[in-house]
């Protein structure tokens, strides 16, 4: 039995070893794959902002897309200064009244890229966090030249030569993915995850990007280190993967995803519902939900989700392999045979090996 097959067998059927080895550090403070917003207000939670502030020693908070000011209000309790910009005339007028007696909050009425170019030069010596959340969200929110100005915002940050800011970007489920062969869009006019990260690396090649639930976190790791949970590492790697890295490494990370805790599983389910609502081509949330369902012996759901990934046009050999296993568990032997044969066709290292 060759090395590839031996490792594949270990990964697919001994995932507890992989996850168990990683969870030894979970007692320490770390960023987990979780929902970091207040479920009632939808603003960033005080717990999350406190953790970011203390871990990265940042005391200035810059926000794009103030909306009702719920994140702004929480940030003002934790940071020395909060600079926030809102494009909507009505929202801005209401915010000025709302925060008129809070000296820590500075509200601006502008488009977000111009605001960044205007405010950042005076803050270059400050330890800054950017919270980029100026996406158009329908009725009640303002729309600029596109549904999301995030690429213009990142370009504006690059122009200011602020290379060491910590950058948080919201609603990452709305950003698609790409492989060497194909682009998988999420919402219209939104860049892909890879395009987003490339724009961050253009600001500073030392940036490291992590997927924290529905938030992208980017920071310069020469300025300090942060502890991330195994699930954060696994989901980040899965989003980055574009078929030109080691196959076994992606299987190891997706084995960790399959072992999601109940809280992580419910978050996957929430993201999965959003993707069904948006009817997008972005496939990762279907894949992750399917992996976690398979581990929970919900083989019918797993099979449906792996099929959905294939229907979206993502046909990496491992998806057929996952599909074959789920079909086998559902006693759909002809489907299992066909998927197994397709996996072997795409990855000849599987040929002539014993069916696990």
Q: What is the mean pLDDT of residues 333-345?
A: 95
Residue 28 confidence (pLDDT): 44
Please state the rounded mean pLDDT for residues 171-193. 87
Strands (E), 189-254: 207-212, 215-220
For 141, which DSSP code? S
Q: How confident is the model at residue 55, as a pLDDT?
A: 87
Place of tokens 């810059």: 62
Q: What is the mean pLDDT of the chain?
A: 87
Q: Are 251 and 18 in contact (CB under 8 A)?
A: no
pLDDT exceeds cutoff 50 at 27: no
Window from 214-218, 225-229, 286-290 with minimum mean pLDDT: 225-229
Q: Tell me whether strands 215-220 and 207-212 are parallel, antiparallel or unpaired.
A: antiparallel
Of 253-262, 289-298, 344-353, the poorest mean pLDDT is in 344-353
Give the per-residue pLDDT at 294.
97
Whether pLDDT at 8 is above 60:
no
Residue 326 buriedness (CB in 10 A; 0-12 / 13-18 / 19+): buried
pLDDT band at 181 (very low <50, low <70, confident <90, very high): confident
Domains of the chain in sequence order: 3-26+246-350 (1.25.40), 46-227 (3.40.50.150)
Q: How far is 234 from 242, CA to CA, in rounded Å? A: 14
Give me the pLDDT at residue 263, please: 93
- Residue scoring higher pLDDT (325 or 42): 325
φ/ψ of residue 301, rounded to 5: -65, -45
pLDDT value of residue 104: 98
Strand partners, 219: 208
The predicted pLDDT at position 137 comes to: 61
Q: Is 78's pLDDT higher than 80? A: yes
Band of residue 59 on the pLDDT scale cut at 50, 70, 90: very high
């Amino acid at each position: 039995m060759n090395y590839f097959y031996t490792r594949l067998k270990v990964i697919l059927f001994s995932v507890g070893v992989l996850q168990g080895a990683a969870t030894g550090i979970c007692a320490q403070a770390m960023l987990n794959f979780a929902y970091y917003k207040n479920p009632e207000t939808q603003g960033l939670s005080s717990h999350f902002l406190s953790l970011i502030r203390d871990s990265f020693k940042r005391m200035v908070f810059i926000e794009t897309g103030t909306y009702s000011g719920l994140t702004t209000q929480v940030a003002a309790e934790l940071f020395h200064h909060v600079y926030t910009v809102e494009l909507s005339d009505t929202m801005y007028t209401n915010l000025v009244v709302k925060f008129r007696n809070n000296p820590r909050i500075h509200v601006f009425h502008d488009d977000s890229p111009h605001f960044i170019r205007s405010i950042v030069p005076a803050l270059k010596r400050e330890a800054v966090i950017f919270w980029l959340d100026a996406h158009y969200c329908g009725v009640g929110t303002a729309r600029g030249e596109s549904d999301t100005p995030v690429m213009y915002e990142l370009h504006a940050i690059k122009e200011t030569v602020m290379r060491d800011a910590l950058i948080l970007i919201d609603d990452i489920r709305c950003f698609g993915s790409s492989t060497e062969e194909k682009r998988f869009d999420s919402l219209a006019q939104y860049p892909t995850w890879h395009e987003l990260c490339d724009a961050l690396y253009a600001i500073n090649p030392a940036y490291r990007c992590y997927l924290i639930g529905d938030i992208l976190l980017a920071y310069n790791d020469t300025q300090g280190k942060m502890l991330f949970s195994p699930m954060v590492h696994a989901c980040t790697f899965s989003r980055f993967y574009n078929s030109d890295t080691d196959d076994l490494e992606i299987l190891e990370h997706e084995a960790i995803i399959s072992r999601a805790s109940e809280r992580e599983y419910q978050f996957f389910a929430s993201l999965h519902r959003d993707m069904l609502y948006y009817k997008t081509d972005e496939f990762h949330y279907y894949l992750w939900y399917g992996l976690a369902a398979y581990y929970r012996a919900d083989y019918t759901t797993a099979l449906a989700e792996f099929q959905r990934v294939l229907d979206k046009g993502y046909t990496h050999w491992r998806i057929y392999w996952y599909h074959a296993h789920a079909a086998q568990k559902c006693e759909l032997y002809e489907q299992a045979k066909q998927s197994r044969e397709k996996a072997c066709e795409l990855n000849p290292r599987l040929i002539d090996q014993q069916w696990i």
